[in-house]
Amino acid sequence: MTQQKVEITRTAEILVASTKKDTYGNLIVTDKAGGEYKVGVKRERLFAYFQPDTAVHLEYAVFMNKEYIANAIPMNQLIKAKEPAIAVRATTMPEKGKIIPEVGKNKSFALAYAKDLAVADKIKVEEVISYATVFDMYLRGDFSESESEILAKYIVKYGRKE
């Protein structure tokens, strides 16, 4: 059986409040805003992504004129997929003429800003590194326009503690 390429028609971001299975085995997801989403039993591999207080990026497709959730990506995985490898400073003296890789001041700014958000109680302390990574990527210009839109929506919707 050949697999057809699924065309994503739209995307959305939600913050999961709760989940339950219906009588057919589909997962019914309720977001913090009260919206309900059905993840079909055919996409059971996605069920594990829908945990309470988890931000999830949804991708929709259409089959026989009916829209369905074709894919789901936890926002922390979406961010980590773009996370660059961290340059590590040498702890011993380098050989003469050898260059030491710099971590860069963007990482310092990003971490300081993320820390400030946690101190101001705008984000959870556990989220500081994730936010710093995203801010660093933004400062270096590593976001496409659509990724910037996703990030902005995520921060606007879910950046504050409830």
Q: What is the pTM of this model?
A: 0.48
In this prediction, residues 144-148 reach a mean pLDDT of 58
Domain locations in the chain?
A: 10-75, 83-142
**Weakest-pLDDT range from 9-13, 104-108, 124-128:** 104-108
**What pLDDT sits at residue 128?**
78
| 35 vs 6, more confident | 35
Distance CA 133, CA 129 (A): 6
**What pLDDT sits at residue 39?**
93
C-beta of residue 76 within 8 angstroms of C-beta of residue 130: yes
Q: pLDDT per residue over 97-107, tens digit each?
A: 554 445 566 77
Q: Which of 155, 84, 162 is nearest to 117 (CA)?
A: 155
Q: pLDDT per residue over 44-89, tens digit each?
A: 888 888 888 888 888 898 988 899 998 888 877 665 555 554 444 4
* Residue bearing tokens 């590194």: 129
Q: Which of 21, 64, 65 is nearest to 43 (CA)?
A: 21
CATH superfamily of 10-75: Nucleic acid-binding proteins (2.40.50.140)
SS3 state at 60: strand
CB burial of residue 79 (10 Å; 0-12, 13-18, 19+): buried
C-beta of residue 49 within 8 angstroms of C-beta of residue 9: no
Q: Per this entry, what is the length of the chain?
A: 162
C-beta of residue 29 within 8 angstroms of C-beta of residue 41: no
